[in-house]
Amino acid sequence: MKLSVPGRATAAAVVAAVTLLTTGSIAGAAPAPEPAAAAAPDLPVASVKAHLTQFQSIATANGGNRAHGRAGYKASLDYVKAKLDAAGFTTSVQQFTSGGAIGYNLIADWPGGDTNQVIMAGSHLDSVTSGAGINDNGSGSAAVLEAALTVARTNYQPTKHLRFAWWGAEERGLVGSRYYVNNLSSANRARISGYLNFDMIGSPNPGYFVYDDDPAIEKTFKDYFAGIGVATEIETEGDGRSDHAPFKSAGVPVGGLFTGASNTKSAAQAAKWGGTAGQSFDRCYHSSCDTTSNINETALDRNGDALAYAVWELSS
């Protein structure tokens, strides 16, 4: 769903209106206002869900999971990579080993923008071995994929350089993202202006949690949710438990979104967000019932749109 949020486009319109008032004439000699920054597009939730359906089919065809070292992981990566390649991204697959098996990160760069200022958005693509991992973390993977495809579809040409990532072996201890960060040169690490992480953004009994990290990134997410009238809380269910942690340790500004895992929704949280008090945000966390049925579509939609808003705002 598309909802307008006050942003730079609005500010530019105000500038234009003021210019018109002060010059008193449209055809006056006033300097043209700066072009408005491209407004963040709506991320179609139906498209995000279509990617989840594909991840579910991949798991079902490969022993029920998409875990590191299993066929379902590589098939998930091949699915995402084919979409990105067809859309015009420059993709690379980074290999590492963990637990005696080869793991893979997928990195996709959108050509253009200032490569000394890179905005990254990422999510882990692996599941645990016990299930298909549709909320954890098909949800983040699908939304980041759809954001990247929307960049291509709209031919977005941001000031900064955009890079998207899908990490392997997060469930074995942030292995893929740590490998990526450890293998960056210090110059390339310093070029990353921000890393945005999306791990579990469609929890069936959702909360709306924003990482309390880099203030500018945090504010961008909070502004989006304020604009649609959805209350947020600071993420507290285990800071450092996802792929932003290696970036943060390396000094990169980080942020992200989360709709909750095994923690219990309080009565106060149910009052403001709906859902069921006294129940986990995700009762299927790390279990076999983390299927396409384990997704709250409203949460997935709102978080996908917040993701797009942040990517556009922070790179414009």
| Residue numbers annotated as active site | 170
In the complex, the smallest distance separating the C-beta of residue 254 from ligand TRP, rounded to whole angstroms, is 11
Distance, CA of 51 to CA of 65 (rounded, Å): 15
Count the Cβ atoms, other than its own, within 10 Å of residue 272.
14
Q: Near ligand TRP by CB under 6 A, which window of 8-16, 110-118, 214-222, 235-243?
A: 235-243
Contacted entry of Zn ion, ligand TRP, none for residue 108, CB cut-off 5 to 8 Å set by kind: none
**What distance separates the 2 farthest-apart alpha carbons in the chain?**
73
- Which of 213, 212, 210, 214 is closest to 231 using CA atoms? 210
In the complex, the smallest distance separating the C-beta of residue 129 from ligand TRP, rounded to whole angstroms, is 12
Distance, CA of 293 to CA of 28 (rounded, Å): 59
Beta strands (DSSP E) in 140-229 are 160-167, 192-198, 209-210
By the rule CB under 6 A, 261 interacts with ligand TRP:
yes
By the rule CB under 5 A, 123 interacts with Zn ion:
no
- Which of 154, 132, 134 is closest to 142 using CA atoms? 134
In the complex, the smallest distance separating the C-beta of residue 258 from ligand TRP, rounded to whole angstroms, is 4
For Zn ion (CB under 5 A), the number of binding residues is 3
Closer Cβ to ligand TRP, 170 or 313, answer by number = 170
In the complex, the smallest distance separating the C-beta of residue 190 from Zn ion, rounded to whole angstroms, is 28
Chain positions 125 to 164 lying near Zn ion, rule: CB under 5 A, are 136-137
By the rule CB under 5 A, 235 interacts with Zn ion:
no
Query: Which string of x and - marks every residue 147-186 that binds ligand TRP (by CB under 6 A)?
Result: -----------------------xx---------------
Chain positions 125 to 144 lying near ligand TRP, rule: CB under 6 A, are 136
Beta strands (DSSP E) in the chain are 90-98, 101-110, 114-124, 160-167, 192-198, 209-210, 233-234, 254-258
Give whole-number Cα distances, 212 to 146, 171, 219, in Å. 25, 22, 9
By the rule CB under 5 A, 218 interacts with Zn ion:
no
By the rule CB under 5 A, 199 interacts with Zn ion:
yes
Unique residue bearing structure tokens 């129940």: 279
Chain positions 186 to 205 lying near ligand TRP, rule: CB under 6 A, are 199-200
For ligand TRP (CB under 6 A), the number of binding residues is 12
Buried b (16+ CB within 10 A) or exposed e, 144-155: bbbbbbbbbeee
Chain positions 17 to 56 lying near ligand TRP, rule: CB under 6 A, are none
Distance, CA of 301 to CA of 133 (rounded, Å): 18
Burial status of residue 34 (CB atoms within 10 A of its CB: 0-12, 13-18, 19 or more): exposed
In the complex, the smallest distance separating the C-beta of residue 175 from ligand TRP, rounded to whole angstroms, is 12
Closer Cβ to Zn ion, 109 or 171, answer by number = 171
Calculated CA dihedral for residues 134, 139, 145, 151, nearest 10 degrees: 160
- Backbone φ and ψ of 177, nearest 5°: -65, -35
Q: Near ligand TRP by CB under 6 A, which window of 64-72, 94-102, 230-238, 265-273?
A: 230-238
Contacts with ligand TRP by CB under 6 A lie at 136, 170-171, 199-200, 235, 237-238, 241-242, 258, 261
Contacts with Zn ion by CB under 5 A lie at 136-137, 199
